[in-house]
């Protein structure tokens, strides 16, 4: 409902300002085409790399490698796939969340913690590849370490708050 209200307000504002909505929309779409030409190769490479990572078994190997360390920290091993895949792919993270919901339930402690982690973290590598690729930035300098620090902080905070509220 709020989206419908926003659209109606936008149409009323455009009519008040006497803006040709169709023409403005077409001009915006035309400006997006060169941007898509720049972004699509990055998206294609990233999607292919993610598929190869999962299909090769490297994802399972990394998950099994991280599980003992996370167990020591008190992190549910069921969250490992979500934690591993979230920095790379939002859709794969949603699939991991769906698997957690199917196995443990959305209202379980594991399901609630997974929801907090998904909502409080970002697809760091995907976002950096997309945004930097779209404007042609080759040297990321401090962007990757800062983004990873932000991701680590959000995961730790999410885990701490989940243990505080859901135990």
Q: Mean pLDDT for each consecutive 10-residue tract of the chain (167 residues)?
A: 85 88 86 79 74 79 81 83 85 85 92 93 85 80 91 92 87
**Tell me, what's the pLDDT at 1?**
65
**Tell me, what's the pLDDT at 63?**
76
**Tell me, what's the pLDDT at 146?**
93
Pinpoint the alpha helices (H) of the chain: 2-16, 21-55, 58-72, 80-85, 90-104, 109-120, 124-135, 143-166
Residue 110 CB-density burial (10 A; 0-12 exposed, 13-18 middle, 19+ buried)? buried
Q: Is the pTM of this model over 0.85?
A: no
**Tell me, what's the pLDDT at 82?**
87
**Tell me, what's the pLDDT at 96?**
85
Q: Three-state SS for 79?
A: helix
Of 71, 80, 116, residue with least CA distance to 99: 80
Please list, residue by residue across 86-101, b when 16 or more beta carbons sit within 10 angstroms of its beta carbon and e when fewer do.
Answer: bbbbeebbeebbeebb
**What's the number of domains the chain is made of?**
1
Instruction: Provide long-range contacts, Cβ within 8 A and 24+ apart, for 137-144.
Output: none
**Tell me, what's the pLDDT at 70?**
80
* Separation between Cα atoms, residue 118 and residue 91, nearest integer Å: 11
Q: Show the domain range for 140.
A: 2-13+21-166
**Tell me, what's the pLDDT at 40?**
76
**Tell me, what's the pLDDT at 45?**
76
Task: Look up residue 112 and give its two tokens.
Answer: 């609630």
**Tell me, what's the pLDDT at 90?**
83
**Tell me, what's the pLDDT at 54?**
74
């Amino acid at each position: 409902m709020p989206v419908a209200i926003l659209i109606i307000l936008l149409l009323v504002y455009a009519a008040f300002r006497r803006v040709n909505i169709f023409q403005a929309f077409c001009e915006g779409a035309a400006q997006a085409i060169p941007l898509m030409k720049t972004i699509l190769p990055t998206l294609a490479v990233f999607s292919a790399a993610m598929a190869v990572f999962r299909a090769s078994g490297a994802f399972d190997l990394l998950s099994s490698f991280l599980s003992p360390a996370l167990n020591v920290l008190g992190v549910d091993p069921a969250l490992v796939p979500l934690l591993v895949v979230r920095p790379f792919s939002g859709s794969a993270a949603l699939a991991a969340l769906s698997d957690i919901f199917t196995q443990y339930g959305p209202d379980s402690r594991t399901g609630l913690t997974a929801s907090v982690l998904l909502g409080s973290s970002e697809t760091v590598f995907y976002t950096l590849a997309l945004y930097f690729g779209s404007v042609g930035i080759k040297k990321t300098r401090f962007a990757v370490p800062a983004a990873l620090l932000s991701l680590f902080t959000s995961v730790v905070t999410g885990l701490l708050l989940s243990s505080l509220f859901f135990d």
